[in-house]
Structure 1
Amino acid sequence: MFDLSRELADYLYRHPGDAAAVELFRALAAGADPEPYGRSGRHGHFTGSSLVLGIDGQRTLLTHHRKLQRWLQPGGHADGDSDLRRVALREACEETGLPGLRIEPAIFDLDRHWIPPYREMPGHWHYDVRFLVRATESEAYMVSDESDDLRWWPLADVGRGDFDPSLQRMARRARLLPAAG
């Protein structure tokens, strides 16, 4: 059973420099918005995403997001599901088509980012709880309707350059991990 409070405490123990982010996520979970796992919250809502690593652990599969026109990690809205680990894995499966994905149990990264207004949806905050997901069987992906493209990128390239700063941070963090066994 996913317990966000416990998971955030564990994340803070492993990443004490992220205390301010952890407090923002705790506040949302504790009632800063009455529907933190739905899309209607005025203050924002939780999302789940993942850094999908290739079998060798040295590359990540990124999606070229159709609405935002940027290379990003797979992820999406919780849509009422408070198990953000399950949300992240579901979104990775749906957006990549990769079989046999395995999600690591611990939160890998936290990122709060502003989403500008889009059609009838006002601007709002995404409180993105991120996990590490590993390809285990195949690296043959399928592009979903939400993406313009998918591509495997070397972590070293994603850790610098023109990528989103939070994606760069995750890539740098992933490069420090021991090889999968």
Structure 2
Amino acid sequence: MRPDVVNASLATATHPERDRFAAFVRAQGDAALWREGGPEHVTASCFVFSPDLGHVLLCLHRKGRFWVQFGGHLESDDRDLADAARREAREESGIADLKLLDEHVVDLDRHDLRGGFACAAHWDVGFVALVDPATPTTVSDESDDVRWFPLDALPATVPDGFSARLAAVVRSVASGD
């Protein structure tokens, strides 16, 4: 995957952080894409919702000790950010046939990392999948639990700002943006 693939994905994003993300990728070049490229790099994630957008599937992140969407570092076999997000969601949820709603970027988030993480910060690019909550899930080695939550009853241990990001993603999906 090349930096221009990242910039192409970001071109469709209407998020206020888009220009900061694009500037980071331009400045860092190929290193921005890989965990080994430096303390800050791009990651891809997937918000998994029920088809009615009333519930979200989250994982209890083992290192971070918080509930969050599925996601992680890019791998050399990933064709683009959407492919990386889909792969991560499949691996971490156990839903082998999980498909993205589309390849539209719905969330951009730069977050600092502390304790237990080798990285200093992630520049995360988020996508969406819709899944029937009756679909069986499994817990991966990277998580301690995987569970559905009503959007109005999220667990207390979500990262700062997560609820607002989640609400913005739901608004974007509901409006078709």
- What's the TM-score, normalizing by structure 2? 0.82
Match among 69, 86, 93 for residue 89 of structure 1: 86
Q: Give, as a single letter, the amino acid of the residue that structure 2 aligns with 1:3.
A: V
Match among 157, 164, 167 for residue 169 of structure 1: 164
> Runs of at least 4 residues of structure 1 off by over 4 A?
none
Gapped regions of structure 1 (runs ≥ 5): none
**CA RMSD for the aligned pairs?**
2.8
**Matched length:** 171
Deviation at 1:178, TM superposition (A): 3.2
Is 1:113 matched with 2:111? Answer: yes
Identity, % of aligned positions? 32
- SS at 2:13 equivalent: helix
Structure 2: distance between partners of 1:46 and 1:149: 25
Structure 1: distance between partners of 2:30 and 2:116: 22
- SS at 1:11 equivalent: coil
- In the other structure, the counterpart of 1:74 is 70
Gapped regions of structure 2 (runs ≥ 5): none
- In the other structure, the counterpart of 1:153 is 149
- What's the TM-score, normalizing by structure 1? 0.80
- SS at 1:131 equivalent: strand
Q: Give, as a single letter, the amino acid of the residue that structure 1 aligns with 2:136.
A: A
Structure 1 residues 38, 98: CA separation in 2 closer, same or farther (over 3 Å shift)? Answer: same
Structure 2: distance between partners of 1:51 and 1:59: 11
Matches of residues 1-181 of structure 1 in structure 2 within 5 Å?
Answer: 3-12=5-14, 15=15, 18=16, 21-32=17-28, 34-80=30-76, 81=78, 83-103=80-100, 104-116=102-114, 118=116, 121=118, 123-135=119-131, 138-158=134-154, 162-176=157-171, 177-178=173-174
